Amino acid sequence: MEVTGIAAVVTGAASGLGAATATMLAARGAKVALFDLNEEAGKAHAEAIGGLFVRADVADDRDAAVALDTAAEAHGTARVLVNCAGIVPAIKIVGRDNVPHPLDVARRTIEVNLIGTFNMIAKFAARLAAADPIDEERGVIVNTASIAAFDGQIGQAAYSASKGGVVGMTLPIARDLAQHRIRVMTIAPGIFATPLLKALPLAAQESLSTQVPHPSRFGRPEEYAELVASIIANPMLNGEVIRIDGAIRMPPR
């Protein structure tokens, strides 16, 4: 699918992987709606790339529906959805003084990362299913999992569970949406240079980067965005999860 002139939605688009993806799509001529809860950063980035910012909690039923309607009113029916919104808690199942993992944190992680992705997919696909196909397809959905879905580290139980859910639902959703000619793919990024990672102490950053076999560095958000572009362009990419991680396999800690 060519992106020039089509409408696209990117969640978590105020920073990191989502911001880079929104930039890539806008640069290739797409009409991009940026969904995020960070209004200041989201509006600034939307203005910089000529996109539309919409404040949205992807895990909220009504919020997601209103946001998609707002984007459609401005740009028409979106053909591309890239789900990048997510949170990354790091809490052990049993902490200091034998304190159990807070259930509210685990629940919120699942709500944002897994249910939020599911919510956006369902609402986006229902709108797109009514549109006319372009050549042999109507559109493309790209989700963001993580290598933590496969190599979860200590303290990542809730996060790994949420991302494992995204991996697990990729194929069945692709099969569900095949009748509507909508493709569904998931990317599982490794260690990328996002604001969250850059907030770590320098020593921790250096330790993590040297664990990547090749190239021995953090991934760049632009490299994630380029993979999104390749997925959109190739009609045979469907129902699969692609790791983009420099061949790293995460150790326990």
Give the pLDDT means over successive 10-residue stretches in the chain (253 positions): 96 97 98 98 98 97 97 98 95 93 96 98 98 95 97 93 98 98 98 81 78 93 98 98 95 84
Beta-carbon contacts of 10 under 8 Å, excluding residues fewer than 6 positions away, are 18, 21, 22, 25, 32, 33, 34, 35, 81, 82, 84
| pLDDT at residue 200 in the model | 65
CATH topology of domain 7-192+220-244: Rossmann fold (3.40.50)
| pLDDT at residue 24 in the model | 98
| pLDDT at residue 198 in the model | 76
Cα 11 to its chain centre, rounded Å, is 7
Sheet containing 78-83, strands listed edge to edge, beginning at the edge strand earlier in sequence: 52-55, 31-36, 7-11, 78-83, 139-144, 182-189, 241-244
Q: Which of 159, 192, 218, 224 is catalytic?
A: 159
Percent of the chain with pLDDT over 90: 89
Phi/psi class of residue 247: alpha, beta or left (left: φ > 0; alpha: ψ in -120 to 50)?
Answer: left
| pLDDT at residue 195 in the model | 82
Helix boundaries (H) for the chain: 16-27, 39-49, 61-75, 103-110, 116-128, 148-151, 157-177, 195-198, 202-210, 221-233
Active site (annotated) includes residue 159: yes
Write down the mean pLDDT value for the chain.
Answer: 95
Residue type (1 letter), 87: I
| pLDDT at residue 209 in the model | 84
